[in-house]
Amino acid sequence: GQNIDQPTEMTATEGAIVQINCTYQTSGFNGLFWYQQHAGEAPTFLSYNVLDGLEEKGRFSSFLSRSKGYSYLLLKELQMKDSASYLCAVSNAGKSTFGDGTTLTVKP
Amino acid sequence: NAGVMQNPRHLVRRRGQEARLRCSPMKGHSHVYWYRQLPEEGLKFMVYLQKENIIDESGMPKERFSAEFPKEGPSILRIQQVVRGDSAAYFCASSPTSGLSDTQYFGPGTRLTVL
B45 touches chain A (CB under 8 A): yes
Mutate: best of B23, B94, B103, B110, partner A, most A CBs <10 A = B103
Q: Picking from A103-107, B16-20, B103-107, which range would have the lowest pLDDT averaged per residue?
A: B103-107
Residue B103: what pLDDT?
84
Q: Per residue in B30-63, pLDDT tens?
A: 899 999 998 878 899 999 999 889 999 999 999 9
Measured CA to CA, the distance from residue B32 to residue B10 in angstroms comes to 20
Torsion of CA A59, A64, A69, A72, to 10 degrees: -10
pLDDT of residue B40: 75
Q: What pLDDT is stored for residue A1 in this prediction?
A: 64
Q: What is the pLDDT of residue B1?
A: 54
Looking at the predicted structure, is the pLDDT value of residue A2 above 80? no
Share of chain A above pLDDT 70, in %: 99
Contact yes or no for B55 and A94 at CB 8 A: yes
On chain B, the residues whose CB falls within 8 A of the CB of A97 are 45
Quick check: B100 contacting A, CB < 8 Å? yes
**Residue A30: is its pLDDT beyond 90?**
no
pLDDT recorded at residue A28: 84
> Under a CB-based contact definition with an 8 Å cutoff, are residues B4 and B106 in contact?
yes
Q: Are B49 and B69 in contact (CB under 8 A)?
A: yes
Neighbours of B53 (CB within 10 A): 9
Contact check, Cβ <8 Å, A43/B106? yes
Which residue stretches of chain A are H helix? none
Residue A95 pLDDT: 81
Residue A91: CB atoms within 10 A of its CB come to 24
Name the average pLDDT for chain B.
Answer: 91
The full DSSP string for chain B is ----EEE-SEEEE-TT--EEEEEEPPTT--EEEEEEE-TTS-EEEEEEEETTEEEE-TTS-SSSEEEE--SSS-EEEEE-S--GGG-EEEEEEEESSS-SSPPPEE---EEEEE-
B91-108 pLDDT, tens digit each: 999 988 755 567 889 999
Specify the pLDDT at position A72.
98
Contact assignment for A93 to B56 by CB distance below 8 Å:
yes
Nearest Cα residue in chain A from B92: A42
- C-alpha dihedral (B101, A46, B29, B80), degrees to nearest 10: 90
Q: How many residues does chain B have?
A: 115
